[in-house]
Structure 1
Amino acid sequence: MTSTRTVELEGHIIDSGMMQQAMGIVMDLGGDFDIEEFDVGRQKHNTSYCRMTVSADDDDIQEILHELNQIGANLTSTADAHVERAPADQVVPVGFYSTTNHPTDVRYDGEWIPVEDIEMDCAIVVEETDDGARAYTKVLNSIDEDDLVVTDDTGIRVKPPERPRDASGPFGFMQGGISSERPSESLIGDIADALKETKKEGGNVLVVAGPALIHSGGGDALARLIREGYVDMISAGNGFATHDIERGLYGTSLGMDMETMEHPRKGHKHHIYTISEVIRAGGIEEAVEEGLITEGIMYECVKNDASYVLAGSIRDDGPLPDTITDAIEAQNAIREQAHQADMVLMLSTLLHSVAVGNCLSSTTKTVCVDINPATVTQLLDRGSSQAIGMVTDIGTFVPTLAEKVLDEPDE
């Protein structure tokens, strides 16, 4: 049998490509569509509206509706969301709704409820409180028995953020995807302006950084941004912190002298000596307090109450006492930072960028900088569609950014 449903699309649905995507989804999955109403915004600031009926075999209609929901084409039905109790800890009901990272509302008991802490690939749990119902995301390993979990796509409204048509609005300056040929100086200036605006509005800035930032000589500039209050949180790995501290203790990063670019005798052992000394002190904060660590990024984090999460991996030396070696615990710590962030700078770290990107809402300003364009491409492919990329040397980017934020007067 054939089923028919009606969906609505609203916003800048033409220039954003949403209209084309919706039609493509229906046709690719074996359905048909009919445009019932189409109002086109005729000015740049005007939005457009489309009401579309979708028809398909009963076996295909749910898949089509789900894919349409993911891009923001929502059912016109005002029915409440379907909910079921979780049968056991870490077990969701069959057919549970898997979230996007876009702002999402759930209709429950006749009311639309915004979903808190939205991120991709989670379940939505509804909880009844004295002040009314609330909805929030949970990763699967956090599901408790009897949690009220949302299933299928009924009563769910997804609202993808839209790129502005012109160069105005948040990150309008970065439209056009990933390129190494656009003028770096002006782009870094725009990122600096966005960073200053975020802090002016009381927002939190998270930096996701890899060891290449230290090796390339960008450590001092990032430390300065932390000291001056422009970076609130650091998300990194054991290697990043180790080489930052190694530089302060020995003047080397991964055994290479940061001034002469030479490899001193026994330099290859400096990183393990560094880890040993921090372990002896009891941790990074203790090493700062006793005067072992006197400079660098981790020093400024401790001195300026900038939180840091060091997530471990199977290849870590040591590791440092502050490194979280339990993968689930590390995920939860990263998730907590991500939910607090209003702007994220991802600096030369592919795996960490993807991990943090998975926890971010699509409304979070996200800039990914790497010498390898594949890093940004993979981040986008994993669903972090809000990320904008800049292909350049991180050792040039961070000092230039710090200069524009701290040394150039506001216009």
Structure 2
Amino acid sequence: MRIRQLIPDQTVNDEQSEPHEFQFNITETNETDEQITIDAEKISLNDDDSQPHQQNLTADQLQQLFTRASSELVAESMDDQEFFKREETIEAPKTSKRIQTPFPPPSEDRKQDLDLDIEQLKQLAKQEAGPLIIERYSPSETQINYPLATVTITFNQPMIAVSSLDDQINIEDLGISLTPTIEGRWRWSGTKTVQFEPKHRLPFSTKYILKVDKQHCVSAIGGKLEDELLFEFSTTTPNVLQFLPDETVSTLKPICFLLFDQKIDGNTVLQHLRVMNSDKNEITNNEVELVDEVTAKKEFKSYIDGIEGNDEKYVAFTFKNDLLKATQYMIQLPAGCPSSEGPLVTASEWSANFQTYESLKIIDLYPNKKNEYQPSCSPGYSWSVTFNNSLDHSTINKSLFKIEPEVSGLGIEHVEYNDRQITIHNNSKPNTIYTL
């Protein structure tokens, strides 16, 4: 057998050499040939440029090579281990003990006789009952500045039997009262808590008295009240939530709008209002008048329809005569303004201002050579003229503007949401000074 091995200049027995790849090419011959030619090429995996060399292996060397390779395979196949399985988790120790007892317990184990009648239970309860105490009540502040939906009292002892929670009750039998009387109902939310629920909410601008009479207030187990409760609180008087106009107006007969946080009477509030200009000249009540409901809802629809019930909480009025131009006016609501919900009136004054328009004038130009920040603009970029007042759209046209030198593509734009500004579209040329 003739063997050719293509290897680098290293011996076969070099075990510390770097990894190699063996390639064998066995060529069969006829039976009379005593040698088999094997091309064994050993190429270094780390050196792509190494040149192969040929070496003839004898049969013993070949057998030794195969034996070494097969012994390593056998060693790997014998490297078996059992599947690792962790030990089961030990249950956490329990500190309690489970004791089996009969039910019901034998009579000798009972501490007391369970066959008690109702009268005995009542007597037992009366012996344990202490003084009746009002643990808390709500509201607890004297001035309420928010819509109040309930009035609540909680005792330290049951006041009624559990079976009576859904029954109609006469709260006066327990000496509990809320004055003035308003539409609503008292109900128990537990054996110790009673609350008053008005049909809507407690009316504003009203002073209330919450009272619990100690002579009549007795708990279900016989506890008596040592000190009576007498608590006074008041709901808020009218407050202005919104006023319009709050800036410069574009007409000399503006419509003024006041939205309150509670129901008011428009005529009554109008008679209470005062209007004066910056020179302290007052406009009499005969010179103002309420606007009709249709006009008010058209002008201030978002405010009136914003919350249910706002249609009874506003006053809208205008002026019979033209106001002065370029003048500041003050709307004043002195202390003592009444409400439609209760007898209390405001204790402080409220006021707001608005301004009538000045004579029409230009307040800004873009671009403007006299403006150091905006002296010029790019060719073809739009120009703008801004005025101090809103403009009448029907009067705006190209004939109002004269531009030198002439510019092509001239277009004038005036929009409703920005009615104080006119935009001039154009095809202006570069490096040119235009005069408007």
Q: TM-score range by the shorter chain?
A: under 0.3
Taking structure 1 as the reference length, the TM-score comes to: 0.20
**Higher RCO (CA < 8 A, seq sep 6+):** 1
Higher helix share: 1
Structure of larger gyration radius: 2
Taking structure 2 as the reference length, the TM-score comes to: 0.19
